[in-house]
């Protein structure tokens, strides 16, 4: 359940941004979560609700933007989509893949007041 | 010790010899099971039917720009803070010429036994220190200290992994020697510790052959993050149906560059290869680093 820690980190960022950017309430948060990032979205939503209670983000909406897993296939010399880290190249079946995207865990934007 | 830049997420961390300084425990954890009769207009796909509530208000129904609301783009990594602490730890280790290893495995892989044997065999040869991560008890740190090597226990409470901030505090209490090897035994868990950089030079995964040979593809993130895989309890091979070649192939599938050593912490088989890996990596850290552990360059007459 490291989703709980991740949500606590999100809340810390919200709290420090509140001081810096002058807002007191967070109404919505957009997170970019890669498909290879080992984050369970349902657990994330549950933890977010728990962690933000009685905070400046109490009752805020959590929007999740999934980023597809992508990798560079060394055999085909092209970028391919993968669902998991150990997937083979969908074109040539090689496992010589270098993950290039889908590991993101970022706060993208906020709606605040 | 007072933490002035405290930002760690966990509320229940206990580091031996230190007063707990984060007491914002989130005890309201499951307070939102239903029965409170309000209506949700949104349809997140839940794992379990209609049981959990993830935020009030219909999703995607808010209109930015209404009332005083405004949008702010912030583009920050969620683990940015942990990564900052990790970078600080890494700088500290580099300055001291310390080789830091983050040992990760499932519970029951024989990690602590492997560690205690390693410490006994190498403690005369190089300075060693250990940070022990467990949810509760100081049993493991006690086992380590019985070898004569300094150890600090970090209890993570409800946390399922160590973070870089906890490690920084533990290092404060350890009094690391220059040129030492610091072993961080992470909480037994193949999922969460993969995401948290502690400032280590390498993650070392330990997998015992009493576990399934498909663990590397069941928990790909961890095996992807590790530089070295120790296949432990190799002495039990005659009694088990464990396909070593297949296990190695799975590990290389998620991490083509992973190095794999077969060891038995009980019989000592293969341990010399692991020690060789340790010595070489420690030597590499010490190159150009003037420590007591390395012969001092001859003085040039003025």
Q: What is the pLDDT of residues B255-287, one digit of tens each?
A: 989 999 999 999 999 999 999 999 999 999 998
Residue A101 main-chain phi, psi, to 5 deg: -160, 160
Nearest CB among B64, B79, B160 relative to A1 is that of B160
Does residue B57 belong to any structural domain of this protein? no
Inter-chain CB proximity A110 and B160 less than 8 Å = no
The answer to whether residue B68 is domain-embedded is no
Within 8 A of B80 by CB-CB distance, chain A residues are: 9, 13
Q: Which domain holds residue B201?
A: 98-284
Whether residue B80 is contained in a domain is answered as no
Collect all residues of chain B within an 8 Å Cβ-Cβ radius of residue A86: 216-217, 220, 250, 253-254
DSSP-assigned letter for residue B177: P
Decide if pLDDT at B13 tops 80. Answer: no
What pLDDT, in 10s, does the model give residues B168-205? 999 999 989 999 999 999 999 988 898 899 999 999 99
B220 within a domain of the structure (yes/no) = yes
Residue B195 included in any domain: yes
Asked if the C-beta of B160 comes within 8 angstroms of chain A's C-beta atoms, the answer is: yes
Q: Is B248 on the interface with A (CB under 8 A)?
A: no
Q: Which two tokens stand for residue B84?
A: 């900052």
A-contacting residues in B 119-158 (Cβ below 8 Å): 158
The DSSP line for B67-127 is: TT-EEEEEEEETTHHHHHHHHHHHHHHHHHT-EEEEEEE-TTSSHHHHHHHHHHHHTTTS-
Q: Can you read off the two tokens belonging to residue B274? A: 């692991």
| Distance in angstroms (rounded) separating the CA atoms of residues B259 and B295 | 30
Position of tokens 């000592």?
B268
Residue B135 is predicted with a pLDDT of 86
Mean pLDDT for the stretch of residues B38-62: 36
Whether B1 shows a pLDDT value over 70: the answer reads no
Q: Is the pTM of this model over 0.90?
A: no
Does B159 reach chain A within 8 Å, measured CB to CB?
yes
| Separation CA B272–CA B263 (nearest Å) | 9
Whether the predicted pLDDT of B253 surpasses 60 = yes
Strand order of the β-sheet with B202-208 is B14-15, B151-155, B128-134, B181-185, B99-105, B202-208, B228-232, B259-262
- The CATH number of residue B231's host domain is 3.40.50.300
Contact flag B9-A12 (C-beta cutoff 8 Å): yes
Q: Is B75's CB within 8 Å of A5's CB?
A: no
- The number of distinct structural domains making up chain B is 1
Give the mean pLDDT per block of 10 residues along chain A (113 residues).
88 94 95 92 93 95 96 94 89 90 94 94
**Cβ–Cβ under 8 Å, residues A52 and A58:** yes
Q: Is B122 within 8 Å of B277 (Cβ atoms)?
A: no
Nearest-CA distance from A89 to chain B in Å?
Answer: 11
In a domain, B156, yes or no: yes
CB nearest A17 (choices: B74, B78, B253)? B74
Domain-embedded: residue B48: no
Domains of chain A: 2-112 (3.30.2320.80)
Strand residue runs (E) in B166-220: 181-185, 202-208
Residues whose CB is less than 8 angstroms from the CB of residue B113 and which lie 6 or more positions away in sequence, other chains included = B265, B266
Phi, psi of B174 (to 5 degrees): -80, -30
Do the Cβ atoms of B67 and A31 come within 8 Å? no
């Amino acid at each position: 359940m490291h989703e709980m820690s991740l949500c606590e980190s999100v809340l810390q960022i919200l709290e420090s941004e509140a001081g810096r950017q002058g807002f007191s309430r967070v109404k919505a948060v957009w997170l970019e979560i890669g498909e290879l990032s080992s984050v369970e979205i349902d657990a994330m939503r549950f933890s977010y609700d728990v962690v933000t209670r009685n905070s400046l983000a109490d009752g805020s909406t959590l929007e999740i933007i999934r980023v597809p897993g992508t990798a560079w296939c060394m055999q085909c010399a092209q970028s391919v989509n993968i669902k998991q880290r150990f997937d083979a190249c969908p074109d040539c079946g090689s496992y010589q893949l270098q993950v290039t995207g889908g590991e993101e865990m970022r706060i993208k934007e906020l709606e605040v007041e | 010790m007072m933490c002035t830049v405290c930002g760690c997420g966990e509320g229940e961390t206990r580091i031996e010899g230190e007063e707990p300084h984060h007491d914002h425990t989130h005890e309201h954890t499951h307070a939102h099971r239903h029965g409170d009769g309000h209506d949700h207009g949104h349809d997140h796909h839940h794992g379990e039917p209609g049981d959990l509530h993830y935020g009030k208000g219909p999703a995607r129904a808010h209109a930015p720009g209404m009332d005083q609301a405004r949008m702010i783009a912030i583009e920050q990594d969620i683990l940015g803070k942990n990564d900052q602490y990790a970078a600080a730890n890494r700088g500290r280790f580099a300055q001291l010429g310390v080789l830091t290893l983050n040992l990760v495995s499932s519970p029951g892989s024989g990690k602590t036994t492997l560690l205690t044997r390693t410490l006994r065999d190498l403690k005369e040869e190089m300075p060693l220190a250990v940070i022990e991560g467990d949810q509760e008890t100081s049993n493991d740190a006690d086992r380590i200290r019985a070898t004569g090597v300094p150890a600090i226990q970090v209890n993570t409470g409800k946390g399922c992994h160590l973070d870089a901030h906890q490690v920084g505090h533990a290092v404060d209490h350890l009094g690391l020697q220059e040129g030492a090897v610091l072993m961080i035994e992470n909480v037994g868990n193949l999922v969460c510790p993969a995401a948290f950089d502690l400032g280590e030079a390498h993650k070392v995964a330990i997998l015992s052959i009493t576990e399934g040979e498909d663990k590397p593809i069941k928990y790909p993130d961890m095996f992807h993050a590790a530089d070295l895989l120790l296949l432990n309890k190799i002495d039990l091979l005659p009694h088990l149906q464990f396909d070593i070649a297949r296990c190695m192939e799975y590990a290389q599938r998620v991490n083509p560059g992973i190095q794999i050593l077969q060891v038995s912490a009980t019989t000592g088989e293969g341990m010399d290869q692991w020690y060789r890996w340790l010595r070489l990596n420690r030597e590499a850290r010490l190159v150009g680093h003037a420590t007591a552990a390395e012969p001092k360059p001859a003085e040039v007459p003025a």
